[in-house]
Chains A and B, each alone.
Chain A
Amino acid sequence: MDERRGTRWGRASVPIGLGLVSIGAALTAISHQVVALDFTVENNNANGEPTRFASSAIYAQNVGFGMTTAKLQSGTTVPVLRAGFATARLDGLCVSRQETIGPLTVTLTLRSGDGNLASNPSSGTTWPDIAANNATFDLRQIRGMQQSGQASNGINLNGLDEIGISTQDIQTTPGLTNPLAGPSAANWVGISGTSATFYSVKGYLYDAAISGNIALPKLSITTGTGGGGQCWSDMTTTTDLPQ
């Protein structure tokens, strides 16, 4: 029997078309600020790490950090620090995910930002470029630092700050009960503030959910192989932060 040769364009067109249409629709909706966004809960990758993220600055109102749990796709329940904001504006955003598929190390990276480090809204500069409402991030680790041109450093909470409250009692979204979905039991500890600024942020996250609108200027999504392309390689430096 003759071996079938040549490219099966008909068959290949199905996943290609599906992928293009699907991602096109998603990006169109996101760029028009009409949708919510939810990065799904992921497993740790083969290297044992969740998704990496980075932002040059985050300004947020009605801020809370609370310990709670998240269930990974593997079924494993892990403790996470759930950060929630009623409103947030970001100077640049990068989210990257690396997986091993057979012999290949594939990196999927989302980047957004106008390239302008507008670190201090009170200075009269343009507000940071990315806006999001009612956001939560399930974190395994976060680090705040300072880079040249920024007004301040690290993680700052403003107003009446509380440490030691129960996660279920954190009010990041006025009018909503338990917006961080904290367990009703004791000992799930949280921190809350009237507002907060996070400078030169890097970290690992399991999940991000933005139920309000989000605007992502200059959005790009890239894939690469060979192990490069992650948002950052060293959590302790500010050299590779998005703006």
Chain B
Amino acid sequence: MRDLGPRQQRNLVLIALLLFLGSLLFTPQPSTANGTSGTASCTRTSLALWNGSGTSTTGSVNPCVSGAMLDLTFPFNSTTQATINGVALIGCGQTVKDAAGDTISPAGGMCHVAFNSFLVTNENAAVLKTNGWTGAAPSPSYNLSINPSGNFTIGGNNVLTDLWVDGNSTLSINDGSLCALASYIELTSSSSAPCTTTISKYGQCYQGIKTLFVKVCAPGMLQFLGLNNFPIAGMDLKIYYLATHNGSGGPPGGSSVQLPNTTITVS
């Protein structure tokens, strides 16, 4: 066989090493896909699901809730950025435990709210993010962010979305009559339901989620106002758990979470 020059010999050995490394990379090895580490004995919380009528529930889920808060936000904009056909405040002061068995205690209390046909229709700055773990080594802290650019769906047409959120979450609505009605009822109501935030901005209004849902979302109120849906101009939902379903706790048809042109990043 002919002799090779020093450079060719180096390349030859390099190729041989790459072949070997390549084989290691793609060679079958004991897999972690079916690992049995961890535990299934985490604390579960039974959570009833809205059936789309009043504040009634039908069916339930029994998840092991992580305890990390996921913040779904998009900034206030005068144009409608999301729509919800129906909403319900099932109740606040709910007890939801995290996976370790500790009760999750958000600043505004734990509220169960539910949406019908939740669609984000005109938004490019939304983000769903968490800094779920800030513990010490050996477990690293982490940030997880989900950034859809454009319209996205967490629910969709005829899908119910149940959320357990911090009562200090906010929705901003950009319909004057809805805002005025909310303010009027709030001022005149003798209800002991807690009110949180009401902030005027650019002629629109922010409503603390408890206020909004308690004061405005009575059945038939949207029709009374001549609206087909809640026109949402901004939101800050501090979510601990969310489930999409068909109204009886079963899976809805189609894609109930649609995240087009979306980047998910861990850091």
Where the two chains meet, the residues of A that have a C-beta atom closer than 8 Å to any C-beta of B are: 5-9, 12, 15-16, 18-20, 22-23, 25-27, 29-30, 35-40, 65, 67, 69, 77-81, 84, 97, 101, 104, 106, 108, 110, 134-136, 139-146, 152-169, 173, 176-190, 193-194, 197, 207, 209-212, 221, 223, 235
Q: Is B192 an interface residue (CB 8 A)?
A: no
* Known interface pairs A157-B257, A161-B243, A178-B38; A37-B132 also in contact (CB < 8 Å): no
19 interchain pairs (CB within 8 A)?
A12-B9, A15-B16, A22-B23, A23-B20, A23-B23, A36-B33, A38-B31, A67-B144, A77-B137, A79-B133, A140-B266, A156-B255, A156-B258, A161-B243, A163-B257, A166-B42, A184-B99, A185-B99, A197-B255
CB distance from B35 to the nearest CB of A (A): 4
Q: Which residues of A contact B70 (CB under 8 A)?
A: 163-164, 189
| A16 and B35 contact, CB distance less than 8 A | no
Q: A177's contact among B2, B38, B63, B252, by CB below 8 Å, is which?
A: B38
| A211 and B19 contact, CB distance less than 8 A | no
Nearest neighbor of B264 in chain A, beta-carbon distance: A142
| B26 and A30 contact, CB distance less than 8 A | yes
Nearest neighbor of A86 in chain B, beta-carbon distance: B33
* Known interface pairs A154-B260, A165-B241, A184-B39; A77-B265 also in contact (CB < 8 Å): no
Going nearest first, the 4 A-B pairs with the smallest beta carbon separation are A19-B19, A79-B142, A178-B38, A23-B23
| A154 and B35 contact, CB distance less than 8 A | no
Q: Which residues of A contact B267 (CB under 8 A)?
A: 79
CB distance from B115 to the nearest CB of A (A): 13
Q: Is B189 an interface residue (CB 8 A)?
A: no
Q: Which residues of A contact B21 (CB under 8 A)?
A: 108
Q: Which residues of A contact B29 (CB under 8 A)?
A: 36, 38, 40
| A77 and B139 contact, CB distance less than 8 A | yes
CB distance from B105 to the nearest CB of A (A): 13
Interface readout for B10-40 with A: 1 if CB under 8 Å, 0 if not?
Answer: 0011111111111111111111111111111
B: interface residue count bin? 35 or more
| B34 and A134 contact, CB distance less than 8 A | yes
Q: Which residues of A contact B257 (CB under 8 A)?
A: 155-157, 161, 163, 193
Interface centre among B9, B34, B259, B260 (most CB of A within 10 A): B34
Q: Which residues of B contact A188 (CB under 8 A)?
A: 66, 68, 99, 132-133
Q: How far is the CA of A146 from the CA of B258 in the complex (A)?
A: 12
Q: How many A-B residue pairs have CB under 8 A?
A: 314
Q: Is B138 an interface residue (CB 8 A)?
A: yes
Q: Which residues of A contact B266 (CB under 8 A)?
A: 67, 79-81, 139-141
* Known interface pairs A154-B261, A169-B64; A177-B19 also in contact (CB < 8 Å): no
* Known interface pairs A69-B140, A190-B66; A162-B61 also in contact (CB < 8 Å): yes
Known: A169-B99, A186-B66. 18 other contacts (CB 8 A): A36-B29, A110-B25, A143-B262, A143-B264, A152-B260, A154-B259, A155-B258, A155-B259, A163-B154, A163-B241, A166-B99, A168-B39, A168-B40, A187-B66, A187-B132, A188-B68, A193-B257, A211-B33
CB distance from B36 to the nearest CB of A (A): 6
CB distance from A232 to the nearest CB of B (A): 14
Nearest neighbor of A221 in chain B, beta-carbon distance: B22
Within 8 A of A (CB), among B59-93: 61, 63-68, 70
| B18 and A67 contact, CB distance less than 8 A | no
Q: Which residues of A contact B36 (CB under 8 A)?
A: 176-178, 181
Q: B12's contact among A6, A12, A108, by CB below 8 Å, is which?
A: A12
| A67 and B138 contact, CB distance less than 8 A | no
Q: Which residues of A contact B241 (CB under 8 A)?
A: 162-165
| B144 and A165 contact, CB distance less than 8 A | no
Q: Which residues of B contact A161 (CB under 8 A)?
A: 242-244, 256-257
